[in-house]
């Protein structure tokens, strides 16, 4: 089946971009927008009860100068929407006669055996008998201890009364023998119940070992199946070279591909294009439908390719293509000094500048203040701002001041005010958001809302003004989690309205319209509360 789709209108070659866009940092090309609109018109209307899905489009040209586009969805379902010619999977794991489904069936049998063993009446009875044995032992031993304590009190009284009597030594010896006999009886009783409990534990352990053995077999078979699977995921690149997912990830820190590797839009689209000798021109991915509970995905918004699964694979697949550079270059960004004294400096960080050096970008607030204050001691940086966020930061000129300010942040006595423009109208005037956050292990640096493992994150907010379908707000973070304001703004359980220009949780724009405009704290040397402001640049 030919999966190349014709545009609904004629496309001229001079409308094509000169180089392929960076899948991890892009604004959708106008042709990608046209292709996406064409596909969206064919997709079913989103349902709140159904989980949404990521779709992708890839503009491509053929060797006979035909311009069209391919489309794909993330996941490995088959016959998802027969009216749209989605590109096939790189490797069909859904084939019922294929090794993966057969191996999966074997794993399911082991899972069933484990479930039955963990819920068997024999195991439940053994656990019940052990608990009863422990409770009975504790009850009887506590009773004996209480009786011994009572007997001891009586002996103390007898000992006191007979102290000056002629037979005191005989009475004393008798009382000592009685005490020793009671202690011996208690010791024997403890040993008796300890043996009974140990015998019962051995019975239970023998049963649990069988379950543990089944789980070990499951883990080994699962690892072998995954390894075999990712050896069959073979990806072409623009140079015509093929490499398996296993080989690609063996060169990374992860070593092993995460589950679902190869089933995202980008690898599917590029692999099909290279298979059919198409030339990729531009690509974009958009979310269609309801957002997942933990992640932030907005219906109809475009998103970059994921990092954990796609970045290593695309690193191979894009070899041979000319890729667009980043749209912004940060090497010429410099901090603005707002205020300083012998202890601290207050600087205004421009959007796009890292707080500390990163893997690919060495220019940062730290490197610049280090040049400003070469004799300063300590870490200098007291707190951080996201690279995309502008605004005020405190710099400590010595170790003691740094420790003082760090304690203020830990004690939550530092007060911060941010200003932001949100992509939509907020109906209420103010409120507080309490959504715990943790890093998305599959797509760093994105953050997830997670009640189980997330760290507390609380933000107060108030509306300042409305303008052209946007809302200007003040944020007052009561905690300082990574991307806290961005996630609290965008998440459905927060304001459900992303900050303008947020390419991770909303729509990319010229910049993220988030600015740290005011900060208040106790000065480390004067002990007076001081406040500094930096007017918003937007």
Q: Is the pLDDT of residue 401 over 90?
A: yes
Give per-residue pLDDT as tens, 22-33: 999 999 999 999
Catalytic residues, which ones? 386
Calculate the CA 320 to chain-centre distance.
32
Give per-residue pLDDT as tens, 235-255: 999 999 999 999 999 999 889
Which of 93-97, 244-248, 416-420, 433-437 shows the lowest mean pLDDT across its residues? 93-97
Give per-residue pLDDT as tens, 493-513: 999 999 999 999 999 988 999
Location of structure tokens 């707080």? 355
Res 81: pLDDT: 62
- The Cα–Cα gap between 434 and 451 comes to 10
Res 324: pLDDT: 86
Res 12: pLDDT: 84
Which among 334, 399, 401 has a CA at the least distance from the CA of 369? 334
Q: Is the pLDDT of residue 193 over 90?
A: yes
Contact 458, 478 (CB under 8 A): yes
Contacts of 129 (CB under 8 A, 6+ apart): 200
Calculate the CA 413 to chain-centre distance.
28
Split at pLDDT 50, 70, 90, the class of 378 is confident
Give per-residue pLDDT as tens, 463-482: 999 999 999 999 999 999 99
Task: Write phi, then psi, for 284 (nearest 5 degrees).
Answer: -155, 155
Res 359: pLDDT: 67
Calculate the CA 346 to chain-centre distance.
32
| Exposure string over 320-336, b if 16+ CB within 10 A, otherwise e | ebeeeeeeeeeeebebe
Q: Structural domain boundaries of the chain?
A: 5-91+234-317, 116-228, 336-533
Res 156: pLDDT: 92
As given in the structure block, the two tokens for residue 340 are 């300083």
Mean pLDDT (the chain, rounded): 93
- The Cα–Cα gap between 24 and 266 comes to 11
Within 233-309, residue ranges assigned H as helices are 245-249, 265-275
Q: Is the pLDDT of residue 144 over 70?
A: yes
Contacts of 40 (CB under 8 A, 6+ apart): 286, 288, 300
HSE at residue 217, side-chain half, CA atoms within 13 A, is 15
Give per-residue pLDDT as tens, 354-374: 999 876 667 899 999 999 999
Location of structure tokens 């050096």? 357
Contact 41, 14 (CB under 8 A): no
Res 328: pLDDT: 47
Res 121: pLDDT: 95
Class of the CATH domain delimited by 336-533: alpha beta
Q: Is the pLDDT of residue 21 over 80?
A: yes
């Amino acid at each position: 089946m030919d999966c190349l789709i014709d545009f609904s209108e004629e496309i001229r070659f001079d409308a094509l971009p000169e180089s392929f866009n960076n899948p991890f940092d892009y604004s959708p090309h106008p042709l990608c927008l046209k292709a996406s609109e064409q596909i969206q018109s064919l997709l079913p209307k989103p349902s709140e009860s159904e989980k949404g899905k990521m779709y992708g489009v890839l503009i491509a040209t053929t060797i006979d100068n035909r311009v069209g586009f391919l489309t794909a969805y993330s996941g490995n379902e088959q016959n998802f929407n027969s009216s749209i010619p989605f590109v096939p999977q790189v490797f069909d794991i859904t084939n019922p006669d294929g090794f993966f489904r057969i191996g999966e069936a074997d794993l399911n049998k082991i899972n069933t055996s484990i479930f039955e063993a963990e819920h068997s009446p024999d195991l439940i009875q053994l656990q019940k008998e052990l608990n009863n044995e422990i409770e009975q032992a504790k009850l009887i031993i506590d009773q004996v201890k209480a009786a011994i304590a009572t007997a001891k009190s009586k002996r103390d009284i007898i000992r006191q009364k007979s102290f000056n009597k002629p037979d005191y030594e005989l009475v004393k010896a008798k009382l000592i023998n009685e005490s020793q006999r009671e202690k011996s009886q208690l010791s024997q009783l403890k040993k008796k119940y300890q043996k009974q409990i140990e015998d019962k534990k051995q019975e239970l352990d023998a049963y649990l070992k069988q379950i543990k053995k089944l789980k070990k077999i499951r883990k080994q078979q699962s690892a072998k199946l995954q390894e075999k699977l990712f050896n069959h995921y073979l990806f072409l690149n623009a140079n015509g070279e093929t490499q398996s997912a296993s080989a690609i990830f063996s060169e990374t820190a992860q070593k092993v591909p995460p589950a679902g590797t190869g089933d995202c839009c980008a690898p599917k689209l590029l692999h099909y294009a290279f298979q059919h000798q198409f030339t990729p021109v531009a690509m974009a991915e958009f979310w269609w439908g309801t957002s997942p509970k933990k992640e932030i995905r907005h219906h109809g918004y475009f998103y970059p390719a994921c990092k954990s699964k796609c970045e290593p694979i695309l690193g191979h697949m894009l070899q041979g293509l000319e890729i667009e550079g980043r749209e912004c270059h940060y090497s010429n960004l410099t901090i603005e000094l707002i205020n300083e004294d012998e202890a601290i400096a207050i600087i205004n960080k421009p959007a796009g500048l890292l707080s500390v050096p990163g893997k690919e970008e060495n220019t940062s607030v730290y490197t610049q203040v280090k040049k400003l204050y070469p004799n300063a001691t300590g870490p200098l940086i007291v707190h951080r701002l996201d690279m995309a966020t502008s605004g005020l930061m405190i710099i400590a000129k010595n170790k003691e001041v740094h420790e003082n300010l760090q304690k203020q942040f830990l004690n939550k006595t530092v007060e911060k005010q941010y200003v932001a423009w949100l992509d939509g109208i907020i109906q209420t005037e103010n409120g507080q958001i309490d959504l715990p956050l943790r890093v998305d292990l599959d797509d760093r640096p994105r953050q997830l809302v997670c009640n189980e493992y997330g760290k507390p994150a609380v933000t107060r907010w108030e509306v300042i003004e409305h303008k052209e379908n946007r809302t200007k707000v003040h944020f007052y973070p009561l905690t300082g989690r990574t991307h806290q304001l961005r996630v609290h703004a965008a998440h459905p359980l927060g304001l459900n309205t992303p900050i303008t220009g947020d390419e991770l949780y909303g729509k990319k724009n010229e910049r993220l319209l988030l600015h740290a405009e005011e900060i208040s704290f106790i000065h480390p040397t004067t002990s007076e509360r001081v406040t500094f402001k930096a007017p918003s640049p937007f």
